[in-house]
Amino acid sequence: MEASNGPQRSPAGLFLGGYPISRGLDFFNDSSIMPTMQFIRDIYAAKQASNRPVISFEFFPPKTEEGDRNLLEKTIPALKQLQPDFCSVTYGAGGSTREKTLMIVDRIQRTHGITGMAHLTCVGSTQEQIGEVLDQARALGIRNILALRGDPPGGTGKFKKTEGGFEFSYQLVQFIRQKGGFSIGTAGFPEGHIACQEGKLVDWERLKAKIDCGADFVLTQLFFDNADFFVFREYMAKKLGVTVSITPGILPILSAAQVKRFTEMCGARMPAPLLARLEPLRDHDEAATEFGIEYATKQCEELLREGVPGLHIYTLNKARSAAQLLKNLRLA
């Protein structure tokens, strides 16, 4: 990735750092002054003091201009009405969306006044290039980063360290902390990371190391059995002495085929009763979506009763399920 001295225009659209960006993401025409965004660690502290859960939504960078318009003109404005505490934007496999991720986070903050967080991975980048991304983020007023090792290009296969880059996410956390000026989140895995051959306890100890290196809060991978989360949380807090916020990641199911694909990729377990309910809905996405809202509602009700600091909702760039979920929980 080449360093950029600023935005460049061409007939094809907007460029940042040499990469073309859809005109739907052109934030430079917005002359509004963006207020200073909060650090997410401070959001958690304030909500804890008021005994209210932190509500956050996650989006991914679309691959088409139509997807850009749907996300920016429909999904985000609809979910803004629910007054989320922050929104995050993922970083494509192999670092394939780095500029677009920053552009969407900037749009969320500048246009909608919502605190944003950019995901950042170790994949396909040297330390110098990662430093450039952080400098771009800082220049845009982005103050929150989710530090991840990341998926290889294509989303499959083994992770390979880039020469001059980082091999482990704790190194990325350290690097961001040394740069200063960011609140740093990291990922937790209630069932253990799929790539950790040594077992989930080793994976959880590695998470503790990331926190010790400077991570302020933890967002978990999706899961469907709350018992897995509770065991994970207890081990982190009581065995390892972790005190930062650990927020469950919630995925309202949209279709049986889609959730099966997701869980196979990330290693999340689907309980037998859930599988049994989904089986007759294989060819009925509308019914699967309704069931997904119902299941997520019950899951979140229990999590909130048990004192989780917030809910991080994987929206899949759709507003309906996330909105109905929060209404069911009387959080909207």
Q: Which residues are catalytic?
A: 58
Q: Are 219 and 313 in contact (CB under 8 A)?
A: no
> Tokens 């978990």 correspond to what residue?
220
CA distance 23 to 91: 20
- Parallel, antiparallel or unpaired: strands 86-89 and 116-121: parallel
Q: DSSP H helical segments within the chain, as ranges?
A: 40-49, 65-70, 76-80, 98-112, 127-139, 169-179, 200-212, 226-234, 256-266, 272-278, 285-305, 320-328
The angle at the Cα of 92, spanning 288 to 68, to the nearest 5 degrees, equals: 70
Sequence letter at residue 77: P
CB atoms within 10 A of CB 19: 16
First-last CA distance in the chain: 41
Q: Are 58 and 311 in contact (CB under 8 A)?
A: no
Sequence letter at residue 28: F
187 closest CA partner among 58, 101, 71 = 58
Q: Are 134 and 182 in contact (CB under 8 A)?
A: yes
